[in-house]
Amino acid sequence: MQANDNAAGAAGTSGGRGAAPVGQVTWQRSGVTRADRERKNGHSGRVLWFTGLPGSGKSTLAFALERELHDRGIACLVLDGDNVRHGLCRDLGFSEGDRRENLRRVGEVSKLFVEAGTVVLAALVSPNGEDRGMVRAMFEEGDFAEVYVRCSLEECERRDPKGLYKKARSGLIPSFTGIGAPYDVPERPELTIDTQLAPAGESVAALIDYLERRGDLLGSLAEAGQV
């Protein structure tokens, strides 16, 4: 991962991209607390981190769940792995270091939304187990849940919605996860969704059931007695 040496030198950072300027930043506290925001929203802030092979259905599930939660009066947002690379992470490639930085940035943005009382649905391949652990460690106990979207490599390759597996097999993408680069299967995810066995509707229902059991769906509509 290439460090921004010019920016680091100008700001007096301790070194590398992402390092805070030494002695120049102070945490500013808001008079509006997370509890205030959650009371206004009518529910708690949380992050569901969808991980799985490319083509396993992470984005499909995240956006379908977003629609369901929105209809229930839950403040929610999808942070999709492809979408963030159009803006927030557009300067990053797919080296091991850049992938780690990609997850760190999305994790930090997720923290901000959780602080605002929003349910975040982050959908990223995030193939490295250690990197996923890094993101988990950013959050308080109970704020982060890992959702393993399980699907066999053969089925993901058969689907190949973006044609990336075909490119990987032809050598055009040498470090593609599942072909030229490994994927660390989660050891203890909070929830496993098998998209090869269950259709999207059943998978979303399983996610809703999980959130209901956690008590995360006390949205504004429920608070008003409308559901």
CA 217/CA 119 separation, integer angstroms: 10
| Burial label, 99 (beta-carbon count in 10 A; 0-12, 13-18, 19+) | buried
What one-letter code names the amino acid at 18?
G
Q: Which of 59, 110, 126, 203 is catalytic?
A: 126
Q: Enumerate the β-bridge partners of residue 47.
A: 120, 144
CA 150/CA 194 separation, integer angstroms: 5
The H or E element that residue 120 is part of is strand 119-123
Active site residue 203: no
Catalytic residues: 126
